Amino acid sequence: MPSRFAEDLRDLTPADLAGMSHEDLLATSCRLLALARSQANRLSEDSRTSSRPPSSDNPYRREERRSSGEPACEGGQSAAASPESREEPKAQAKLTSGKRPGKQPGSKGFWRSQPIVVSEEVEHAPRVCEACGAAIDAQTPGRRASAHISLELARGDMSLKIEATKHVYFVQRCRCGHETVEQPGVGARSHVEGRKRDLTATERCLVGPMLCVFIAALSLRFRLSRAKIKEFLDEWLGLELATATIHRCVHEFGLASEPVVEKLIEEVRAAEIVNLDETPWFQHGVLRWMWVAVTATAVVFRIGSRRKEELAALIGEAFLGWLVSDGYTAYRDHPRRQRCLAHLIRKALALAEGLYGEGAGFGHELVRDLRRLIERVRDGDNDSKAVNRLLAAIKWSCQRNLYEIEPKIRQLAHEILNDWDAVIAFVYDPRLPPTNNDAERALRHAVIARRISYGTRTDEGSRLYAAGLSVIESCRKRRLDPWTYARDLIAAARTGAKAPLVSGIKRRVVGFAALRGNGWPPTPSRGDRLPRPLWPQPWMSLGTVAVVTHDRTVA
């Protein structure tokens, strides 16, 4: 008989084994044993035992290694396997010394070697007397009290330029005899217990609002490390900044964004449809989870545990709208929910293309029927007999496989039947999308950043990182320039003023149709009782989707 390899296992049945001779059975068993060992070795590989990057490690196994005291990998290699760690034991000891990252107390400091050429001087004089409240004449002579230089980024037509401005603060005497000192504004503050100096948003800062936003954009949006941002500023803009200053700019943007995030959470809780998803995140090597809630005009990120309390912090305890989510149990208690069909289709594809024997047929049927159901509802046939036949076929196919021997087949059948109302909710409510594509696309950027930076280090860093991402993505949702808004946001936070409103354009989808040739405007199908569905998605491949919208300004 021919030798059997991994691709032949699909056709191998107990009857074939029973009909083999002793020699053929022994040869097949040896090949199967070799295949099993190979697969087991591949499953046990991680960044410590192969050339895989640390970001590909199983987050749960990483937690197990930390709890058992195994050495963690650094830079894609284990401490035991790294040549540098063998040649330089001091460097390895430094990683496990327990000291805080960064410069240690008593180490040599960093001084500016680049001269600053001031291009403009701005005078700040008091206008109201602190004692009597009377207005101070602008012509009243005064003396200088303090000054500082601020570096700002000037955005021109296809140009970027760093300008240095000297801000001078004066002391003036009122007619009542009291001297009033003008001071730089001081605003938001982030307090961390045990830290020597809290993060404070103030006008007395070397980096101006627009340059601060530019640095935050390089970190949050373009995923550059602090060291690469420093290199970019030095080599391309001729600006020399310390790593700590760059780090402060990134955190200051998150600090200024926190009041806006509170307003965005209120919008999420009042929305009719919210897409929710979560992904693993690491905070100082500890497994956490990044949550995201997406509506038509708002995106809110949150880093925390995977408990249900984190979900309540996003949408509240009394959320009355629709949730579009995957099958995670934290979402199951909500009565109005649409299950993401893309997850179910992927699981069915795994059955269809895997070594599951007769279960492959169940996977093929499920993939075909779910895709046809989405296409029918998209085309406006959500009340037709064809849709009812598809629903009955999907349900019957799951019922037939409830008691299959293969666990994967049984689990998928149970999963669909137990969540049946959430699986088909989009058929009866045309506003609901059949997939959780919006939330998954919102998380994609954070997932790439996690693979590059391995997450955040502190609770403050996680909180400010999520706040900054929320403001950036919400501005993009509203077709608002996020960087101009962020500049105004930081300027307001440094003076203690109220955060500006996230004004933009809210797009309310009122209808769509699939274009076929010159068939526009669309004509309704006969027998339609419900309006056509309002969820054009990027995965729709049958024709071009045209969206008709009415735009209105919102705040």
348: pLDDT strictly greater than 50? yes
Query: What confidence score (pLDDT) does residue 543 get?
Result: 32
DSSP 20-51: S-HHHHHHHHHHHHHHHHHHHHHHH--TTTSS
Q: What is the mean pLDDT of the chain?
A: 82
Query: What confidence score (pLDDT) does residue 142 get?
Result: 86
Query: What confidence score (pLDDT) does residue 25 get?
Result: 87
554: pLDDT strictly greater than 70? no
> How many other CB atoms are there within 10 angstroms of residue 325's CB atom?
24
| Segment 25-45 mean pLDDT | 82
Q: What percent of the chain has pLDDT over 90?
A: 52
Query: What confidence score (pLDDT) does residue 154 get?
Result: 93
Q: What percent of the chain has pLDDT over 70?
A: 81
Among 80-84, 409-413, 507-511, the range with the most confident prediction by mean pLDDT is: 409-413
| Segment 60-75 mean pLDDT | 59
Query: What confidence score (pLDDT) does residue 46 get?
Result: 75
Q: What are the residue boundaries of the structural domains of the chain, listed by start?
A: 6-44, 120-251, 504-554
Q: Decide: 443 and 449 in contact? Cβ < 8 Å.
A: no
Tens-place pLDDT, residues 201-213: 999 999 999 999 9
Give the lowest-confidence range in 116-120, 185-189, 402-406: 402-406
| Banded model confidence at residue 68, pLDDT cuts 50, 70, 90 | low
Tens-place pLDDT, residues 376-428: 998 887 677 889 999 999 999 999 999 887 888 999 999 999 999 999 999 99
Tens-place pLDDT, residues 434-468: 999 999 999 999 999 998 988 999 999 999 999 99
Query: What confidence score (pLDDT) does residue 551 get?
Result: 44
83: pLDDT strictly greater than 80? no
How far, rounded to the nearest angstrom, does the alpha carbon of residue 326 sit from its chain's CA centroid? Answer: 16
Region of 337 (left: φ > 0; alpha: ψ -120 to 50; beta: rest) is beta
Strand partners, 165: 120, 150
H/E stretch holding 547: strand 544-554
112: pLDDT strictly greater than 80? no
| Banded model confidence at residue 67, pLDDT cuts 50, 70, 90 | low
Q: Decide: 53 and 75 in contact? Cβ < 8 Å.
A: no
Tens-place pLDDT, residues 166-183: 999 999 988 888 989 999
| Banded model confidence at residue 33, pLDDT cuts 50, 70, 90 | confident
SS (H, E, C) 190-223: ECCCCCCCCEEEECCCCECHHHHHHHHHHHHCCC
Question: The tokens 């990483």 sit on which residue?
Answer: 62
How far, rounded to the nearest angstrom, does the alpha carbon of residue 169 sit from its chain's CA centroid? Answer: 42
Query: What confidence score (pLDDT) does residue 231 get?
Result: 96
Query: In this structure, is the dihedral angle defined by the CA atoms of residues 366, 371, 374 and 377, taken in order, positive or negative?
Result: negative
| Banded model confidence at residue 232, pLDDT cuts 50, 70, 90 | very high
125: pLDDT strictly greater than 80? yes
